[in-house]
Amino acid sequence: MDYTSHLLRVQFQCQYGMLAPSYLHCLVTKGEEIPVKIPAGVKAIQMHYISGHYVLSAREHHGVHVFDSLPCQNHLHQVIPQLQLLYENFDCSRIRYTTPQHQGPTTLCGIFVVANAVFLSNNMNPHDYKLIPSKMRSYFKQCLINSEITVFPIEEYSTLLHSYIVDQTNRNNSTNKKFSREIEAKLLPPSSDTAQKRQDLIYRDHENKLRRKKRENNAYRHQENESRIAKRQNENHKTSEHLSRKEKHSDESYRTNENMKRTKTRQETRLDESFRTNEHLSRKEKHSDESYRTNENMKRTKTTQEKRRDESYRVSENVKRNKARQEKRRDESFRTKENSSRKETRNDETYRVNENVKRNKLRKEKRRDESFRTNENLSRKEKRNDESFRNNENVKRTKTRQEKRSDERFRTIENVKRTKTRQEKRRDESYRTNENLSRKEKRNDESFRNNENVKRTKTRQEKRRDGSFRTIENVKRTKTRQEKRRDESFRTNENVKRTKTRQEKRRDESYCTDENARKKKTRQEKCVDKSTLIERFHTTVKHGPVHVCELCHQLWYRHSICKTDSKSKGTTLKEMINEVVHNTKKNM
């Protein structure tokens, strides 16, 4: 309807009016004002939406006309706030509430509004024309496809005149019969009880008329049934009849009228108790067939889905359901059965997940209301005064956190969030000072320091498995040592520490022997002359590479490889190669 109003506004170049009905309805519900009202004395047309129904308003010089295809006093009361918001200097006493044509049992209120708006835009009076409801919906769809709305299909003048003549002839026949009865009554001979005789005469006349009508109807029905039987034996007639039924059923108004007739006849027949019992038995027999039950359930779900599109129906349905549940739950046995069935259904994990999703959705919608949030917080505070409640809540929270933290992805996201919040908090100097003070107090406890050191060493070991991290760490360490060793006092302290550690190590006799052996070897290598070095070189060249590499499985010289230990486990191939190259360069 919003698109239709925009289309009419552009098509007829309306300066005022033809606003989106949903926009006007939202302004009224929120209690807001419209930016520009329609000035007094200006002609304008506007479509209005009111609780699942559409009406049309048109302002003339002498007042406002409200066109409604389904007249109801409640509709007028609902549209008045929109009229007051839209029109300047609006006067409720000058409203003219009219119905050019009744929509009947159809749901074409919006299309009737569009048709009346087109009539008024073309300076045509909607009361002078009669629309054809069966053609309105298809015509409206075609107009939307063409992006141009023209006058809707109307009945021709000859059809209207024919219906008027038929009505007049029927009226004349009834008046003539009435006059003939009065003349007969006047021609009767006068007596003391003329009124009673006249009444008897009218009664006999009426009785004879009914008998005659019954005979005619019975004869007509008999002929009609015979003709139907004869026609249905012809196959062409069957197909044509089937097609005509399909065409009739495509019209929504025909279907609604047919359903109304069917329900009326059912209600009349169900007054007989024997009919009801037979119907109940036949239903039982049908329901024993599973395919029938499935088809019936599909139909029922389809009809309920169509009905539930209306918000008012959903609200009334929920009210009824809640009322019925409350009445049933008064019975203790019903409550026990309900609880046991819930437990069984909640054993299924998918059911629990869906239930939690629904519950969270409802909570989010409710928590949009500020008053609900305040009440919820107050109730939580009252509950948390109880120590047992707090303990249970903490147990549940820890359990859920442990389950969530079992997922590595969740842990990483949580750590990122924690670091982010810490960084934001540490921008405040007072927070940093308080944090440092609390840390100092904690570190006074020796057990806390030990646990902290254990954690730190564990994290460092995990990081040092990466060769790139180790290289970066060594570079940083050497840089910091070089900067520190510029200070003479630091160097002296370092030498003191080193000597102290050496003295402690040299208390072990095995360490002393190893140290002496290393020193002796280095001295001997330094004291070797040129000829021995040349001889060693020739022997190595003569024997060739004899050491096998664990990575490439090729032979290498001793000075081109390095021995790997348990620390290098977990490192990649690339890191190990880089380490070997680094060691060879170092040895050279």
- pLDDT, tens digit (0-9, with 9 covering 90-100), for 424-434: 999 999 999 99
More confident residue, 465 or 225: 465
| 198 pLDDT more than 60 | no
pLDDT confidence bin for 416, thresholds 50/70/90: very high
| 184 pLDDT more than 50 | no
- Other beta carbons within 10 angstroms of residue 431's beta carbon come to 13
Average pLDDT, rounded, for the chain: 81
| 501 pLDDT more than 50 | yes
Estimate to the nearest angstrom the gap between the alpha carbon of 425 and the chain centroid: 37
Cα torsion angle, 579, 584, 587, 588, sign: negative
| 189 pLDDT more than 90 | no
**For the chain, what percent of residues have pLDDT higher than 90?**
12
The whole-model pTM stands at: 0.31
List of residues 6+ apart from 465 with CB closer than 8 A? 570, 571
Burial class (CB in 10 A: 0-12, 13-18, 19+), 256: middle
How many angstroms separate the CA atoms of 5 and 2, rounded? Answer: 5
Lowest-confidence pick of 180-184, 215-219, 353-357, 360-364: 180-184
Tokens of 35: 């930016």
Q: Find the mean pLDDT for residues 172-185.
A: 50
CB environment 301-333: b (16+ within 10 A), e (fewer):
eeeeeeeeeeeeeeeeeeeeeeeeeeeeeeeee
The CA–CA distances, whole Å, from 503 to 33, 156, 394, 511, 559 equal: 92, 124, 55, 11, 33
Regarding beta strands 555-556 and 63-67, do their DSSP bridges make them parallel or antiparallel, or are they unpaired?
Answer: unpaired
Regarding beta strands 63-67 and 95-98, do their DSSP bridges make them parallel or antiparallel, or are they unpaired?
Answer: parallel
Q: What is the pLDDT of residue 203?
A: 61
Q: What is the pLDDT of residue 162?
A: 47
Q: What is the pLDDT of residue 163?
A: 53
pLDDT confidence bin for 586, thresholds 50/70/90: low
Give the residue among 36, 32, 34 at the shortest CA–CA distance from 15: 36
66 touches 55 (CB < 8 A): yes
Q: What is the pLDDT of residue 194?
A: 55
pLDDT tens across 119-133, in order? Answer: 888 888 888 888 888
- Other beta carbons within 10 angstroms of residue 120's beta carbon come to 19
More confident residue, 351 or 558: 351
Element (H, E) at 555: strand 555-556
| 172 pLDDT more than 60 | no
How many angstroms separate the CA atoms of 96 and 45, rounded? Answer: 14
61 touches 87 (CB < 8 A): no
Q: Find the mean pLDDT for residues 494-505.
A: 91
Q: What is the pLDDT of residue 429?
A: 92
Q: What is the pLDDT of residue 9?
A: 80
| 58 pLDDT more than 90 | no
Burial class (CB in 10 A: 0-12, 13-18, 19+), 250: exposed
Tokens of 193: 């009880």
Integer-rounded Cα radius of gyration of the chain: 49
Give the HSE-up count for residue 131: Cα atoms under 13 Å, Cβ half-sphere.
Answer: 29
58: β partners? 45, 65
Q: Find the mean pLDDT for residues 291-305.
A: 90
254 touches 133 (CB < 8 A): no
Phi first, then psi, for residue 82 (nearest 5°) are -70, -40
Q: Find the mean pLDDT for residues 268-293.
A: 86
**For the chain, what percent of residues have pLDDT higher than 70?**
83
- 64 dihedral zone (left: phi>0; alpha: psi -120 to 50; beta): beta
How many angstroms separate the CA atoms of 249 and 237, rounded? Answer: 18
Q: What is the pLDDT of residue 32?
A: 80
How many angstroms separate the CA atoms of 240 and 427, rounded? Answer: 86
Longest Cα pair distance anywhere in the chain, in angstroms?
175
pLDDT tens across 63-108, in order? Answer: 888 888 888 877 888 888 888 888 887 777 778 888 888 887 788 8
Burial class (CB in 10 A: 0-12, 13-18, 19+), 118: buried
Tokens of 542: 């003569």
How many angstroms separate the CA atoms of 384 and 393, rounded? Answer: 9
- Other beta carbons within 10 angstroms of residue 134's beta carbon come to 15
pLDDT tens across 243-252, in order? Answer: 777 888 888 8
How many angstroms separate the CA atoms of 384 and 17, rounded? Answer: 58
66: β partners? 57, 97
Q: What is the pLDDT of residue 454?
A: 92
